[in-house]
Amino acid sequence: LDMDNVDISTYKELLDETEAELEELISTTNSNNARYVIGVKAIEGNDLEMVKKNVKKGVAWLREAASNDHIDSMEYLAYHDIRFESVPNIKRIMGYLETVIEKKDSTRALTTLAEFYINQRKEKKSVLRGFELYKKAADLGDLIACYWVGVLLHRGQGADKDIKEAIKYLEKASELGNVQADYELFDTYAREEGYEDHPKAYNYFCDAIENSYTSFQELQDYFKKNIDVLKGEFLKRKHNEDLKIDSDEEILNLHDAYITEHMNKFSNAMRKDQLYKRAPAYMNDGLIWMMKVLKNYMLDTVLRYDHKDFLDAVESDIPPLISEVGVWLFENEVERQKELGDKEAVKKARTCLEIIKKILKDGIEYF
């Protein structure tokens, strides 16, 4: 049962009830919590022994609960309607989400509503409201909101332009794994007057490229344009500071080889995943940046799980990492941590890499 956005303890006693028992509870006590549980189970069809799959019936139960001001039903319906209605009722969806954010701190509701205000309505008043919602979600630690607050502050949309504050939010988003924030930080330090710092910009761009941001040629062009200030940074990053190189052309060739290697390995990994229909094959540029988020999650959290929770996470939380792109990502992580001299981080990255390779070779049953 999809309970990511709710307090599971609220529904714990209802999860083992049959469809008939839940309907009886609704009839006798008018329980909106029961409507929510039966509605979600009927839509998702992942507990067929208890509730038969029937999307139309499930939506009807949730609409009934929502009409009684049941917040979790409103939130679920908002996301369901966005994804599955042929012509989503934007006014109703935004109404649901406005009510949700009045009652609880749901970062998903805040960011979804912010996107509607900024991209659907676009007038100045709506952009201001969108920024306000993103800011609230960002201050609650949401990685998407941190990125968008940084972007909007950088561009002066929805708020006065404030580069220093933009950098603060973008750095937070980067720490949380948002590769788009790495690129935005590159753009800030590469082009923003008064904040230009080409070595810092370059390192942010390299981090983005090594974590599935695919603007390979742009990085090469940027390096070539600023080679005088970046060649030392490149050699330092690769621990070749003492390498005797006589010309910029040789440096460019080395850098081109570095970029080309990453591009080719990423492309080959993606082709293999497309062949075997693994998750990254279905992730466009608007989604592939999430791979770094999953990588960090595996490094920081999944490795600490006990056996059962580890298997659950592999099967339900990090499937995109169980792929050739996942192998590429962790190979990059191993090399980067070597460059930084962090032996413990190298060990963790290698452990994740070997786990992914083993699952690809022998299946999850190996564990």
Mean pLDDT by 10 residues, the chain (367 residues): 66 93 96 96 92 97 98 97 95 97 96 93 87 97 96 96 98 96 97 96 96 95 96 84 78 94 96 95 85 96 93 92 97 94 96 96 81
Q: Is residue 115 part of a domain?
A: no
Q: Which residues contact 335 (CB under 8 A, 6 or more apart)?
A: none
Domain boundary among 81, 110, 127: 81
Q: Which uninterrupted H or E stretch holds 298?
A: helix 290-300
Q: What are the φ and ψ backbone dihedral angles of 2, each rounded to 5 degrees?
A: -75, 100
Q: Is residue 14 part of a domain?
A: yes
Q: Is residue 149 part of a domain?
A: no
The predicted structure's pLDDT at residue 288: 86
The predicted structure's pLDDT at residue 179: 95
Helix %, strand %, coil % of the chain (to 5): 75, 0, 25
Q: Is residue 74 part of a domain?
A: yes
C-alpha closest to that of 145 among 159, 131, 155: 131
The predicted structure's pLDDT at residue 1: 47
Q: Is residue 226 part of a domain?
A: yes
The predicted structure's pLDDT at residue 278: 94
DSSP state of 144: H
Q: Is residue 42 part of a domain?
A: yes
Q: Is residue 135 part of a domain?
A: no
Please give the residue range of the domain that contains residue 304.
Answer: 201-367
Domain boundary among 81, 116, 146: 81
Q: Which residues contact 247 (CB under 8 A, 6 or more apart)?
A: none
- For the chain, what is the domain count? 2
**In contact, 95 and 102? CB cutoff 8 Å:** no
Are 72 and 212 in a shared domain? Answer: no
Q: Which residues contact 346 (CB under 8 A, 6 or more apart)?
A: 334, 337, 338
Amino acid at 197: D
Domain boundary among 60, 81, 102: 81
Q: How far is CA 139 from the centre of its chain?
A: 17
Give the Cα separation of 360 and 326 in Å (integer): 10
The predicted structure's pLDDT at residue 241: 60
Are 214 and 359 in a shared domain? Answer: yes
Amino acid at 361: K
**In contact, 129 and 117? CB cutoff 8 Å:** yes
